[in-house]
Amino acid sequence: HLQGLQRAGVEVRVIAPHDAGLPLEHEVGGVAVRRVRYGRDRHETIAYRGEMHQLVRSPAGAWRALRLVTALARATRQELDRWGPDVLDVHWLVPGGIAARLAALPDPHLRVPVQLDVHGTDVALVGGGGLAEFVGRRAVAGADAVAAMSFPLAEELVRVLGRSADAVLPMPGAPAPPATERPLDGPVLAIGRLVPEKGHADLVDAVGFLRAGGRDLRLVVVGDGPERDRLTERAADAEVPLTLPGARSPQDLEAHYRDATIVVVPSHREGFGLVAAEALARRRPVVAAATGGLREIVDATTGWPVPPADPPALAGAIAEILDDPAEADRRTLAGARRVEERWSPDALGRRAAAQLAATAARRRR
């Protein structure tokens, strides 16, 4: 995403939460990144784990989230004063949207326009009414423009907060390497945090059904999280050979994509569906739950969409791919072309740069 913006002519600097083991200042692909501390290493657990919407429901989690918001606001104010950017591109309603509002408090007439990018989990977090919804409405009220990761998420934003998105701007995946021949005896692959909403338990059950019917399948789930032990036990009960290699770097993920016969995205909810886009770009057939932004990526012409939380449907789609490799290759090629046209880093970089320019111009009128 950031490299695509840079190639479109945008100078970028990033403020992000710190996490254990990460440097405070570094560069990622030529982009300067400043990471903000909000506690000791063992307490910096709000970001990067896909569990913020659950963690903030406890008193300790809410306190850490508050510390993160105030730390981000302070760092944002410092960078605004020091750098004077043309536009502030803020990701996530919480903590980013609220941090941006707080950063403007010392100067209510702050002239830096704000674009707020919502991802999915943040909209779900504020959709329960009460204080969370109030916070979400304050965040969008402080934005000059709002961008959603997908069209379904844009619809949810209207339903939850009454705000229409000004643009739909997914996050692109890493550029795909040259396509490799798909192995027909590789594992079924899933990638994502080991949390209930990712639906990995449904996939374990689906592979179990297929193995009970005589299919010799293996399952690899790349990621980490609180569901690890539960998935291990479930796989043992279903006699499913399951490998859980933990979280992996983007470079390591390439090997998993290369070795996979099929990639499955069984999520119960997704803002966009980055894994599906990356898999198709690498010419791997995809089975995906028909939810959120996944519906834009995977349809009956580009893959195998199935209802969320439906192990038999997952099993049926996997079986179809195994039984008809030619059809799998046909749909996968169509999916790869769609991803390249709509969601490649350069294509999205140009769209994002144009939207940021429009946001900046809106405040200057």
> Tokens 């499955």 sit at which residue?
264
- pLDDT, the chain, mean: 91
Say yes or no to pLDDT of 364 above 60. no
Same domain, 271 and 216: yes
- pLDDT of 106: 59
Per-residue pLDDT reduced to its tens digit, 58-109: 888 888 889 999 999 999 999 998 988 999 999 998 889 999 988 876 565 5
- pLDDT of 10: 92
Domain boundaries, position 97: 2-172+345-364
Look at residue 180 and tell me if it is in a domain.
no
Give how many domains the chain has, as a whole number: 2
> Tokens 């909403």 sit at which residue?
197
Same domain, 133 and 230: no
How large is the angle between the packed helices 311-323 and 200-212, nearest 10 degrees?
60
Mean pLDDT of 172-200: 90
Look at residue 214 and tell me if it is in a domain.
yes
Per-residue pLDDT reduced to its tens digit, 7-65: 899 999 999 999 988 999 999 888 999 999 999 988 898 888 766 767 777 888 888 88
Same domain, 23 and 116: yes
Helix (H, G, I), strand (E, B) or coil at 77: helix
Q: Which residues contact 335 (CB under 8 A, 6 or more apart)?
A: 280, 286, 297, 298, 302, 303
DSSP 178-222: SP-PPPSS--EEEES-SSGGG-HHHHHHHHHHHHHTT----EEEE
Of the candidates 242, 200, 230, 263, which has an alpha carbon nearest to the alpha carbon of residue 50? 200
Same domain, 136 and 208: no
Q: Do 118 and 147 form a contact (C-beta atoms < 8 A)?
A: yes
Per-residue pLDDT reduced to its tens digit, 298-330: 999 999 999 999 999 999 999 999 999 999 999
Of the candidates 240, 235, 199, which has an alpha carbon nearest to the alpha carbon of residue 217? 240
- Rounded Cα gap, residues 194 and 341, in angstroms: 31
Same domain, 34 and 57: yes
- 262: enclosing H helix or E strand: strand 262-265
Count of other CB atoms within 10 angstroms of residue 50: 16
Of the candidates 54, 42, 2, which has an alpha carbon nearest to the alpha carbon of residue 18? 42
CATH number at residue 27: 3.40.50.2000
